[in-house]
Amino acid sequence: MSISSLQAIQLEEQYGAHNYHPLPVVLSRGKGVYLWDPEGNRYFDFLSAYSAVNQGHCHPHIIEALKTQGETLTLTSRAFYNDVLGEFEEKLCRMFGFERALPMNTGAEGVETAIKLARKWGYEIKGIPENQAKIVVCSANFHGRTTTIISFSDSPEARDQFGPHTPGFIKIPYNDTEALQRAVEDPHVAGFLVEPIQGEAGVNVPDDHYLAAAAEICRRFNVLLLCDEIQTGIARTGSLLASCGECSCTGRCEQQPESYIKPDILILGKALSGGVYPVSAVLADHAVMDVLKPGQHGSTFGGNPLGGRVAIAALEVVEREKLAQNARRLGLIFRKEMEDLIQECSLIHSVRGKGLLNAVVINDSPESETAWELCVKLKENGLLAKPTHGNIIRFAPPLVMTESELMECISIIRKTFLEYAR
């Protein structure tokens, strides 16, 4: 039985925890780049569930994998082998250029796994004294909302009244290699955890050679580089991984020497399953991953055959449909059109981004309601986006979007902004 948008909102408000502040729209169906509400109104999706739906909503290849595996075997736990996990791990390793993969479920689980792995490596390989390992992180980071992760967050909403906070983290400014070098001179530092582009902070894109310089510093001081590509990976930024910069790989990591940066630990999630089923993964080579022994880390659902089969299909879509190349091409068009709009509309301060992960900065204070009000107006005009950090709107459509669909969306954005500015 279908319910109205009003009924859906009322039920959530009555029975759900009030830990989100959604845009006032109810979604009941999705296909490709489109979403529909219960009343049949259609919207362009320009958030992609925070980049979890890179392959588009309900992609038929992924849904077919879900159905087939769902009728065969869904969960065994890791108490036994299953006939999908090894195939999934091989797919991950070959596609991203690593020797070992550790599947989990959510992105936050992936980050927690990477932190544990770096600490274990620090004690066992680097020789850091027990309970003294440190991880360097960046200001304005977002890696999840678990107890450990919020301990190094800048967000008062995430941190306040959730203490005591977990020790062992050093915070430095983002995009600052001098600060990184000073931090890793501490012999107790095991790893540097970084987002190649800071998505939740407002799509902060670092200098072109920041990650390459960071990788070199980490190598020099025997510190692991941990790249959180949960939001930026899987073709979102126009490359298979954002950490590789301006590569031109065509579906799998080709390790192009002019752009290739290999982290010691890679964290993937979100679009790893195309928005169909929670799947994350941590990748590393033998020298790092093999410090983990049976019983030291695990998850009942991590590596389950249903998630593995869905993720394999999701990665196949990225390769077959050349989503990285499409994101690269359409991203250039989007930013050019937004730069042109700046000349007409004083409401826009700037545009920044990479591939199809972009942000428009509104010419107002971060405390203003302008970005929120614009997103409500965009919704009324048939496009769904969400503010981040007050005066910034993130624009991140599914990577299956066509150029004609993008131009239609740009027309909606242009119309909405110009009308609001009057």
Q: Which residues are identified as catalytic?
A: 142, 228, 270
Q: Are 275 and 52 in contact (CB under 8 A)?
A: yes
Strand partners, 47: none
Quick check: helix, strand or coil at residue 354? strand
For residue 172, what is the enclosing H or E element? strand 169-172
Q: Any alpha helices (H) in 41-176, and if so which ranges?
A: 48-51, 60-70, 85-96, 107-121, 147-150, 156-159
How far is 81 from 74, CA to CA, in rounded Å? 13
CA angle 401, 407, 410 (to 5 degrees): 105
- Say what angle helices 370-380 and 403-421 make with each other, to 10 degrees: 130
- In 195-343, beta strands by DSSP E: 224-228, 265-268, 280-284
The token duo for 412 is: 């909606």
The token duo for 132 is: 């003294």
Any idea how long the chain is? 422
Write down the residue that tokens 């109810």 correspond to. Answer: 26
Sequence letter at residue 383 = L
